[in-house]
Structure formats: structure tokens, C-alpha cells
């Protein structure tokens, strides 16, 4: 009998603690290992010192193997950091990467010294077989483990693909193994205690930009209605959940299979959010729409992607523009807010398709102003070396950067962690974008987001949103998108929240999420890229400290390190002394502090900020 292995399962940091959701990937692995091996979960979204804690755990000699779930983008950088630290502390402990990044880029994963194995696709069975081979020191068994990429005499070996499995749908996730499950419940527009949950696995479609297509290769499975009812009952009764965000890659599939699940949802009547396809919603029967309404579906995330049917065909989306419009109308008439995602600047015609998409978005806003819009850049998946799809190979051969040179994707995980390639994974940038087009997209997104503030933003006040709508109305009406400096300043002052980072976190198609940098890592060079930082408010000056450049208040001389958010490009510096009773600024602007000292102090700064 194989000895039990002690496995440390790590979910590297990908978002802030306040936005953390259940670490579903490592929870699923932990469930599969029960009764066979011992596992410990370390969640970097909650444990901000997870690298040191991981090193401490392996240093104590109680860990036989380390499993790291990795998505591309910012989570890749934290995965590299923890893997390097573990390798330095315990060189003989095998490090296993699984998830979206090693599935899409297995060669790059193994082309670094701090990763020993890459698990492609579903990882539960592959991990179990790998641990058993490692425990028994049966290296001859490695070539037989499906879904595994490994090294043989310095050569990267890709084993055969593992067949799709729906066995994980039969097991309930061990939420009780988490230190405090309730800390993963957050306040959203859906409810006060919103939970992330995944019911179905995979997707039947194979969009060329989607990591889910590579992970599941056109396979999909839905859970039994009884299993869904059991899980939702546990979440509501035991944890107090009052809203659900379904992380299913495609919640609405075949209607005949969805009806039993909708009937369960209608019993609980908890507000919920999900992914959906336009063709599925457009063809949904009135009986099913009645169940949708009773179940309290608030919003459906629909991949509209493009206003051009030829492009939808090229990316193998399987939907049409007419179906997108029909889905919007169906959602509108049944009280569901459609959340549409668009992918701009395809390499075939970046400028032309971007402008056509802008016009299509304006059309949708005229038909249904409440429609939410998410804008990303089209970034097709890098082709794997073992690719056998001729269409994917032809498309990869045609990719050119803005200078006309063939696009060369990184060959190692470290190269993928470079800032411009992180942007590629996050659908924020692409090699074929010119600087002018890139700025055009940013400016349009800013104007659109201010003219139609999202209902998902529960942080900004109602009057703040109204102010943004008024400021942006003339730009949107006359299509004057260039350099909306006043909107950027106003968004920072009002603290408008950008929903795209969370949508990227939820979305399997996005392959990553947007990150938040710590202020201590911001340099003067970084600061110069944002207009707010170029000079700052008049009462704040740069002071050089050992930790790096920070702002210092001229009134109290205390250093104030701002908080930086890549998603909103915001920088907020507070100084309690400046807003304290009796301070020079307080006396000068005494009437501004009638309601909220913090907000009044921020708005007092606006007169200076607009000149930056």
C-alpha cells in the first residue's frame, strides 16, 4: 500500500482580501485527496504572508509535495515568488503546478528550475497518480500518467491528454477545512453575504481566446439537482449566504438539462449572477424564463465579443450578432440585466473593428441603457507545441505586432511574468496595438464608464454617479473621447469602482484578473505614467525614504504612502492631521467638513487636482 503523502496546496495571491472568494480549485483537490493523502490549504488571498508561511511549512519537514494552482497574469508572479522561495528552502520537495497557465503553456512552465511537474487540464486524478508514483519512488510510472508534463534528461515530455471527468461533481467541497469560511462572503450589489460557487464543469464550445476551451476541450457536465440543493442549503443555513455568483463557465446550456437546476434555484430565491451564452438565452422558453425570474437572477454575463459575424466565426464563438441583440431583449423583458463583454482590436483589423465595436455599444445603450458593458482586448491563446489543430496553427502564423513583425510568445514562466505579457493575459494589451489605439480604447472606456456607471459599484455614492454622468454626457453625445482628463480626476475623487478586475477574476475565459500593487513597490518612474502623480496636490511633496519615494504632508511632515490600484489608476493619500480640528486646511475650508471629513478633504483636493 502506498504511504500517504503530505501535500501543501497553495492558492497564490490574485486579489485583495476584501474581494477573496472560496479557493475552489484547491478545495476540489483537497476533496479528491481525502482518504488517500493528507492536504493543507494555504490561500494567498487571505494570508498576505503566505510565501513565508509556505517556506516555514516545508522547512519543518512535514511536507512531501507542494501543489500550486496558477492562472496567467498577476497570480503568475505570486506563484513564481512562492515557488522560488520553496525551492531555495527545500530543494528536494517536488513542486507541481496546475490550473490555466500550465494547461495553456506547459512548455513555459517546465522551462524554469523551480517547477518539477505541470498538470494539464483537470488535475484531481493526475495529482493522485503523481503522488503515488512519488511516494513509491516509481519513476517508471511517470510516462503513464495522463495529463502530466515532466522532464526526462532535461527534455520536456508531454504525456497523453486525460479524458474529461465529471467525478468531482459528486463530492461536496470541504468548506469546513478553511480557517474561517465566512471571511470569503463579501458584500456586493447582489447581497450582504455573497459567495462564489461552481456548479457545472467545462463548456461545449472552443473559442480561440478561452482558457476553458483548452482545459476541457469541448466537454461539459452539469451537477445533479439534489447535489445543487444540498450545497446551496449548506451555504445558506450554515454560513448565512444570501447571494450567489456562479462561476460556471457556461451556466445556461441545453434547456432540458437546465430546468431541474432552475427549479432548485427557484426554491431558494437567492439573488444570483452567472455566465450565459446569447444563443441559449435567446431560445429560452417562457416557462424557463418564469423559473429564472422566480429564482431572482439579477445579471447574466454574456460574451458578445464583436459586432461582426465574420469575426465571431473566426474565433469559433458559435453565436451571431442577431442572437446578441435577441438575448438583450429577452433579458430586458424578464427583468435581468445583461452584462456584455466585448473584445476589441483583433489582429485582422484592429482600428476598424474597434470603431465598429464602439458604434455597436452605442446602439445597445440606445436600445437598453441598463446593459452593463465590459471592454477587453482580443488576445488569442498562445499555440502549444503539441497543437494538432490546423486552424489554430494558421491563425498563429498570421499574428504580427504593430511593426509588422511575427509575434513571438514567451518561452518561460519568467518571461510571461513581464509587465507587457501580464497585460496580454489580462486582455489589457496586445503586441499589434499601436499606442494611439491603446489610448483610444482607454479613453472610450473611461467616457463610457462615467456616462453609464455600473450598478455593481456599491462604493460610490448616488450623487457621485450622477456627477459623473453629467460630466461625461457631452463627451459621449458628441463622441469626443480624447483625453477625458476631467473624468479621470473625478473618478479618483469619487472613488468609482471598476468592475472589470472582479469580472476577470470570475471569468475562466479571461485567464486572469487585474492586480493591486502595494504602494511600497511604486517607483517615481511608475508614478510619472499617471497624471495624478506627476505633481500631486500642492500640499503634498516627494520625500525620499529608505523604503522608496512617498508623499509627505507639508503640514505635519508625516510620510503618507498612497494606495495604488492598477485597475482604476487611483492614488488616495489621507492625512488625519490636515483634516483635524484647528489645522490650517480645516480652518480654511471649514464649511467642507459638514458631512464627512474624509470625503470633504478629498473633494477639497479636487480644485488642485484638475491642474495636474
* 246 and 134 co-located in one domain: no
Higher-pLDDT residue of 2, 59? 59
Same domain for 205 and 341, yes or no, is: yes
Residues 187 and 175: their CA atoms lie apart, in Å, by 19
Domain count, the chain: 3
Angle between helices 462-478 and 435-451 (to 10 degrees): 130
Domain assignment of residue 167, yes or no: no
- The domain of 539 spans 519-609
> Does residue 529 have a pLDDT over 90?
no
Judge if 10 and 151 occupy the same domain: yes
Q: Do residues 227 and 365 share a domain?
A: yes
- Last residue within a domain, chosen from 477, 510, 543: 510
* 577 and 431 together in one domain: no
Specify whether 136 is located in the same domain as 189: no
**Residue 231 located in a structural domain:** yes
Q: Name the one residue in this structure whose C-alpha cell is 483589423.
A: 349
The pLDDT mean for the chain works out to 82
Residue 250 pLDDT grade (very low, low, confident, very high; cuts 50, 70, 90) = confident
566 located within any domain: yes
Looking at the structure, do residues 457 and 370 belong to the same domain, yes or no?
yes
CA 83 distance to own-chain centroid: 21
- Residue 149 backbone dihedrals phi, psi, to 5 degrees: -115, 130
Q: Quick one: how far is CA 411 from the chain centroid?
A: 23
- Give mean pLDDT, residues 264-270: 96
- Same structural domain, 456 and 596: no
CB atoms within 10 A of CB 206: 18
Question: How far, in Å, CA of 280 to CA of 277, rounded?
Answer: 5
Q: Which of 479, 510, 541 is the last residue of a domain?
A: 510
Beta-strand ranges (E) seen in 44-147 are 65-69, 95-98, 117-119
Query: How many other C-beta atoms can be found within 10 angstroms of the C-beta atom of residue 1?
Result: 4
Residue 294 class from Cβ within 10 Å (0-12 exposed, 13-18 middle, 19+ buried)?
Answer: middle
Domain assignment present for 175: no
Least confident of 29-43, 94-108, 487-501: 487-501
Q: CATH number, domain at 243?
A: 3.80.30.20
In a domain, 411, yes or no: no
Query: Do both 526 and 490 map to the same domain?
Result: no
Q: Any idea what the CATH number is for the domain that residue 116 is in?
A: 3.40.50.2300
pLDDT in tens, 194-209: 999 999 999 999 888 8
- Across 493-505, average pLDDT: 71
Residue 91 lies in a domain: yes
Helix ranges, 136-202 (H): none
The strand ranges marked E within 99-183 are 117-119, 148-152, 155-158
pLDDT digits (tens, 9 = 90+) for 566-604: 332 333 333 333 334 443 333 333 333 333 333 333 333
Q: Would residue 567 count as lying in a domain?
A: yes
Distance of CA 405 to the CA centre of its chain: 30
Q: Domain ends where: 488, 510, 532? A: 510
CA distance 508 to 251: 12
- In whole angstroms, what is the distance from residue 543 CA to residue 104 CA? 44
Same domain, 371 and 449: yes
The structure's pTM equals: 0.82
Q: What is the pLDDT of residues 345-376, one digit of tens each?
A: 999 999 999 999 999 999 999 999 999 999 99
Q: Are residues 205 and 58 in the same domain?
A: no
Q: Are 142 and 155 in contact (CB under 8 A)?
A: no
User: Radius of gyration (Cα) for the chain, nearest Å?
Assistant: 25
Would you state the pLDDT for residue 387? 65
Residues β-bridged to residue 75: none
pLDDT, one tens digit per residue, over 154-190 is 899 999 999 999 999 988 999 988 989 999 999 999 9
Same domain, yes or no, for 268 and 371? yes
Structure confidence by residue, pLDDT tens digits, 131-161: 999 887 777 899 999 999 999 988 999 999 9
581 domain-assigned: yes
Amino acid at each position: 500500500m502506498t504511504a500517504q503523502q503530505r501535500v501543501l496546496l497553495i492558492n497564490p495571491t490574485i486579489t485583495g482580501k476584501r474581494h477573496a472568494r472560496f479557493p475552489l480549485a484547491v478545495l476540489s483537490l483537497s476533496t479528491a485527496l481525502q482518504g488517500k493523502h493528507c492536504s493543507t490549504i494555504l490561500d494567498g488571498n487571505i494570508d498576505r504572508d503566505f510565501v513565508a508561511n509556505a517556506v516555514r511549512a516545508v522547512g519543518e519537514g512535514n511536507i512531501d509535495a507542494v501543489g500550486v494552482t496558477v492562472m496567467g497574469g498577476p497570480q503568475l508572479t505570486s506563484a513564481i515568488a512562492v515557488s522560488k522561495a520553496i525551492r531555495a528552502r527545500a530543494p528536494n520537495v517536488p513542486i507541481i503546478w496546475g490550473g490555466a497557465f500550465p494547461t495553456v503553456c506547459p512548455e513555459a512552465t517546465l522551462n524554469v528550475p523551480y517547477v518539477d511537474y505541470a498538470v494539464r487540464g483537470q488535475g484531481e486524478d493526475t495529482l493522485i497518480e503523481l503522488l503515488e508514483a512519488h511516494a513509491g519512488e516509481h519513476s517508471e510510472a511517470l510516462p503513464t500518467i495522463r495529463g502530466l508534463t515532466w522532464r526526462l534528461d532535461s527534455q520536456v515530455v508531454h504525456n497523453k491528454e486525460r479524458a474529461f471527468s465529471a467525478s468531482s461533481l459528486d463530492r461536496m467541497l470541504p468548506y469546513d477545512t478553511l480557517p474561517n469560511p465566512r471571511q470569503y462572503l463579501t458584500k456586493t450589489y447582489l447581497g450582504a453575504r455573497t459567495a462564489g460557487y461552481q456548479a457545472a464543469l467545462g463548456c461545449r464550445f472552443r473559442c480561440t481566446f478561452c482558457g476553458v476551451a483548452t482545459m476541457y476541450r469541448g466537454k461539459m457536465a452539469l451537477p445533479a439537482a439534489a447535489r445543487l440543493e444540498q450545497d446551496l442549503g449548506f451555504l445558506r443555513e450554515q454560513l448565512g449566504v444570501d447571494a450567489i455568483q456562479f462561476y460556471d463557465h457556461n451556466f445556461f446550456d441545453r434547456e432540458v438539462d437546465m430546468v431541474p437546476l432552475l427549479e432548485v434555484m427557484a426554491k431558494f430565491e437567492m439573488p444570483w449572477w452567472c455566465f450565459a451564452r446569447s444563443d441559449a438565452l435567446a431560445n429560452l422558453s417562457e416557462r424557463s424564463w418564469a423559473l429564472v425570474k422566480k429564482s431572482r437572477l439579477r445579471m447574466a454575463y454574456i460574451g458578445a465579443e464583436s459586432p461582426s459575424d465574420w469575426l465571431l466565426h473566426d474565433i469559433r464563438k458559435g453565436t451571431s450578432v442577431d442572437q446578441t441583440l435577441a438575448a438583450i431583449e429577452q433579458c430586458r423583458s424578464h427583468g435581468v440585466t445583461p452584462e456584455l463583454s466585448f473584445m476589441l482590436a483583433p489582429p485582422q483589423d484592429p482600428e476598424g473593428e474597434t470603431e465598429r465595436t464602439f458604434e455597436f455599444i452605442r446602439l445597445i445603450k440606445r436600445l437598453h441603457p441598463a446593459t452593463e458593458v465590459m471592454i477587453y482586448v482580443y488576445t488569442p491563446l498562445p499555440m502549444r507545441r503539441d497543437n494538432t489543430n490546423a486552424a489554430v496553427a494558421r491563425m498563429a502564423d498570421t499574428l504580427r505586432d504593430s511593426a509588422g513583425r511575427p509575434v513571438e510568445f514567451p518561452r518561460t514562466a519568467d518571461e510571461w511574468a513581464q509587465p507587457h505579457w501580464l497585460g496580454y493575459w489580462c486582455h489589457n494589451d496586445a503586441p499589434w496595438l499601436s499606442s494611439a489605439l491603446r489610448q483610444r480604447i482607454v479613453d472610450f472606456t473611461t467616457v463610457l464608464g462615467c456616462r453609464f456607471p455600473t450598478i455593481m459599484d456599491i462604493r460610490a455614492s448616488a450623487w457621485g454617479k450622477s456627477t459623473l454622468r453629467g460630466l461625461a454626457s457631452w463627451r459621449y453625445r458628441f463622441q469626443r473621447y480624447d483625453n477625458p482628463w476631467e473624468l479621470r480626476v473625478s473618478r479618483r475623487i469619487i472613488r468609482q469602482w471598476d468592475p472589470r478586475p472582479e469580472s476577470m477574476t470570475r471569468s475562466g475565459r479571461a485567464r486572469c484578473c487585474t492586480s493591486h500593487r502595494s504602494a511600497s513597490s511604486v517607483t517615481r518612474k511608475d508614478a510619472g505614467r499617471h497624471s495624478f502623480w506627476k505633481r500631486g496636490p500642492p500640499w503634498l511633496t516627494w520625500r525620499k525614504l529608505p523604503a522608496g519615494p512617498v508623499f509627505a504632508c507639508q503640514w505635519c511632515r508625516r510620510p503618507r504612502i498612497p494606495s495604488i490600484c492598477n485597475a482604476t489608476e487611483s492614488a488616495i493619500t489621507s492625512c488625519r492631521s490636515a483634516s483635524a480640528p484647528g489645522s490650517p486646511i480645516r480652518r480654511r475650508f471649514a464649511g467642507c467638513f459638514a458631512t464627512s471629513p474624509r470625503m470633504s478633504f478629498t473633494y477639497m483636493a479636487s480644485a488642485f487636482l484638475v491642474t495636474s
